[in-house]
Amino acid sequence: MTRLPFLLLFLLCTSTIVAQYYSVKDNSLMVFGNGESITPANQAKIRIPIEAQASSLAQSLEKAKQTVNTLTSSLHSIGIPLSDIETPHFSNTKNVNASIFTSKKDFITELDLIVTINNLELLENAIIILADLKAEPTNVTFQLKSIDSAKARAIEQATSQATLKAKTIAAQLGISLGKIISVEDIGISDVSAQNVMVFANRGYLNSGRYQALYPEKQVIKASVRLVYSLNQ
């Protein structure tokens, strides 16, 4: 009787909890590992909604343009590159909510000004400037400029865990591990919590208008699957 049928019988007799973590099939051992990388956020994005109403489409568009130019110039003055200030969303239409007794708001232009802050030391000054210009952001989200290095660390940790698990299982079952047949990345997820600045209306910012919850961590999780051959 070969060792493999014995191992298969052993696995069938073990608990379902254990079976979730490894399996032996076709003279190979498959194990799973999980890892995570915890990294401070290094980038923020501010979203500012802009609305301009006028008696014509051209006038409403011009008013919105003036607001964008004012905000852009002020933010650029504190060191935010122009390339990090954009308006990806734009709408210029007839204002269906305008009063029938006036023509001054017949048309409306709406857009979002998105500001990317790659130096978080500039964030507070940017919020103050926006507050002074009465351009309150709807939210500020935090993230990583790139998850590549965090992803690599999470995968490395998951692989190490799977390797240790394989060695432990092999020792417990009295089997000998051969070479790694395959390594597969089976999942990457960003589970960062507390990544939105919370605004509290309590006067001006410099006297406590905003309460900011800065993210303490950005969590990237990874899972891998390793398959080892078994020595006879």
Residue 91 makes CB contacts below 8 A (sequence gap 6+) with 108, 109, 110, 111
pLDDT of residue 191: 61
226, amino acid identity = L
CA angle 169-174-176, nearest 5°? Answer: 80
CB of 96 within 8 A of CB of 72?
A: no
Residue 78 makes CB contacts below 8 A (sequence gap 6+) with 122, 125, 126, 129
pLDDT of residue 12: 36
Q: Please name each of the domains of the chain with its CATH number.
A: 3-40+147-231 (3.30.110.170), 43-143 (3.30.70.2970)
**Nearest alpha carbon to residue 88 among 57, 50, 119, 124:** 50
| Average pLDDT along the chain, 232 residues, taken 10 residues at a time | 41 37 77 91 89 88 93 96 90 61 70 93 88 84 86 93 93 90 84 52 46 66 93 78
Q: How far is CA 141 from CA 24, 50, 73, 193, 201, in A?
A: 45, 18, 22, 11, 18
pLDDT of residue 205: 46
The order of strands in the sheet holding 85-94 is 85-94, 107-117, 43-54, 139-143, 196-197
pTM of the model: 0.68
CB of 217 within 8 A of CB of 38?
A: yes
C-alpha to C-alpha distance for 104 and 55, rounded to whole angstroms: 4
Residue 175 makes CB contacts below 8 A (sequence gap 6+) with 3, 7, 29, 230, 231
